[in-house]
A and B are shown apart, each in its own frame.
Chain A
Amino acid sequence: MKPGGIALLEVEDLCLSVTAGGKSCDAVADLSFAIERGQIFGLVGESGCGKSITALALMGLLRRPLAWRSGKIRFKGQEIQALGPEAMRHLRGKHISMVFQEPMTALNPLATVGRQIAEMFVLHEGMGWHEAEKAAVRALAKVRVAAPDQRVKDYPHQLSGGMRQRVVIAIALACKPELLLADEPTTALDVTVQAEILELIHDLCAAQGTAVLLISHDLGVIAQSCERVAVMYAGRIVEEAGAQEVFQRPRHHYTRGLISSLPLLGARAINAANGRTKLQEIRGMVPAVTDFPAGCSFHPRCGMATQACIDRAPGLTRLEGGASVRCHHHA
């Protein structure tokens, strides 16, 4: 997108479908964004917006009933959306890796964490098991786990949630990937641990030059670490801009709603912008994939909706400074 250099990851008009009851619907549509090398890119929105599906699509892990429909995903200039399973497999883990939301279940309960980390080295670095297990100790040390040579012998159920997420991160970063997809990496963790984990991701990626796609429903998490942010609603990006800009000048009413529902940061930002003091929630709920409303999909919940919003889906409006918004009445 940026003229000149090729972005690490470019997503263009991506359309992903979900099949339910014999009917196929678009869970994600017209999705376009780009991530630069080393950049931390935030993808934010309520649950059910299509964030996780997008991440799975990037990993090539869409499984029935989800499927790719159209659009392009370019990784280092190479189109990967239609890559064969074998080629995709070589990309996964080695070049693009992922941290999942639920550290409690993301690890195999019957294998030691050491072995689960070591698998990465066996798979991608061609190491033998013995060697790989030594590498696993080092990888565990890197994610700041105390006594890693002991911990590698532990089973997941013996570790705390934060520890497990560290293990998951160690696995994800084991082979120094160029892109890390972090899907709600801290949601399931205690608040105290959340910051540590975010910091860990931030530091390690910076050190390795790994770009991060940080997915969260929590704007606070995004605000803490991202350079650029895209806001998703009902399968579409409704606003994309630099992190600062989004928080200071939210243009889409959905973004505003999200920010105003934030206790700490939100209160401050909205105070500055609108002079409101009360915490607000967005009324209503995210519609189900099968019945995304016509027109602007946000209109049933939007306080500013007009007849135009009901009749017509808004297109993406590009604004100065590389920002863009999808709203008939953007600020």
Chain B
Amino acid sequence: MTAYVLRRLWQMVPILLAVALLIFVIFSVVPGTFASATAADGRNVVDAQVLERMNREFGLNDPVHVRFGKYVAQLATFDLGISLRSREPVTVVLGQRLWPTLQLTLAAMLLALALGVPLGFVAALKSGGWVDSLSMVFAISGLSVPLFWLGLMLMYLFALVLGWLPSFGYGDPSHLVLPALALCVFPMALLARTTRAVVLEILHADFVRTARAKGMSEMRVVRWHLVRNAMVIVLTMAGLQFGSVIGQAVVIEKLFAWPGLGSLLVDSVSTRDIPVVQGCILCIVIFFLFSNLLVDVLSARIDPRIKYT
């Protein structure tokens, strides 16, 4: 198993390199520089000399191949460069944002699993009944709402109208509830649908018929034979979902002023703090690859057919 994990880690390297190259290329042609962004709000009369010196200080005037060479040389030593805006190492800047994003996405994913999977189970077991119809209507609606709008509505309802929860902020667990809730709706709906489909499929599987022929009650059939089998697929699905959740976290973080990688990314794009942008995307990609690795390891633990190969 250790060997397996190590090999998977090794396989990540080319993907990461490719991603690094890709985002470098993208952001080497991005219009506007950090210097022009600092003057973009039109508040201060722009000092051309300072802008020019900024470009020089950060090497923004260098030709592309020189910048790329520097970038690769830095990457080789796990150095992501210096944030143009705060002049701190990008790794430090990212480090401060990692935990909040992890917190938010994990909470949303766990919530989605905790709500979506049972919902899908119940819908499948009561397939054709009103519980099934209702939960599937709910699920498909959940997949059809613009995320920021959903977040805003939750904010209005739970913070302003009901006054149960704070509308923004970061710190104690109550701050996490609303953003996690908003973020969990999409994966929850998907998981509910997946779970339902998987469970329905398994309910018609031969081994479930065998289990029934053994004289098992439906409860036991579900507990002894259905759950684990459904879990393998649901888990894989959840792992894939994780990627899109991290992506959507960008929207939620911006809306709820959540201090994660997503809001940092958006802010850094608009201020053209390119090293931080590159770092953020790399970080998110690593995040996703690791979550997939975790899912694969877990699936292999549950499913004896999957070997660590």
Contact = CB atoms under 8 A, between A and B. Distances in A.
> Touching in the complex, A and B, CB below 8 A?
yes
Interface of A: 59, 61, 86, 89-94, 97-98, 100, 102, 105-111, 119-120, 123-124, 155, 157, 168, 171-172
B128 to A, nearest CB: 8
A100 B305 contact: no
A157 B303 CA distance: 11
A155 B304 contact: yes
B206 A92 contact: no
Nearest to B229: A110
Given A105-B207, A107-B210, A108-B207, A119 B305 contact: no
Interface of B: 205-207, 209-217, 220, 224-225, 228-229, 232, 302-305
Given A100-B210, A171-B210, A109 B303 contact: yes
Given A91-B215, A97-B214, A107-B210, 18 more contacts: A59-B212, A61-B212, A61-B213, A89-B216, A92-B214, A92-B215, A105-B205, A106-B209, A107-B207, A108-B229, A109-B305, A110-B229, A110-B304, A111-B224, A119-B211, A123-B215, A123-B220, A124-B215
B225 A108 contact: yes
A93 B215 CA distance: 5
B229 A92 contact: no
A61 B215 CA distance: 10
Given A89-B215, A110-B228, A123-B216, A157 B304 contact: yes
Contacts of A89: 215-217
The 8 closest A-B pairs by CB, nearest first: A93-B215, A92-B215, A105-B206, A93-B214, A155-B304, A108-B207, A98-B213, A106-B206
Contacts of A102: 206
B212 A92 contact: yes
A91 B305 CA distance: 33
A7 B6 CA distance: 65
A119 B214 contact: yes
Nearest to B127: A64
Which of B205, B206, B229 has the most chain A CB within a 10 Å cutoff?
Answer: B206
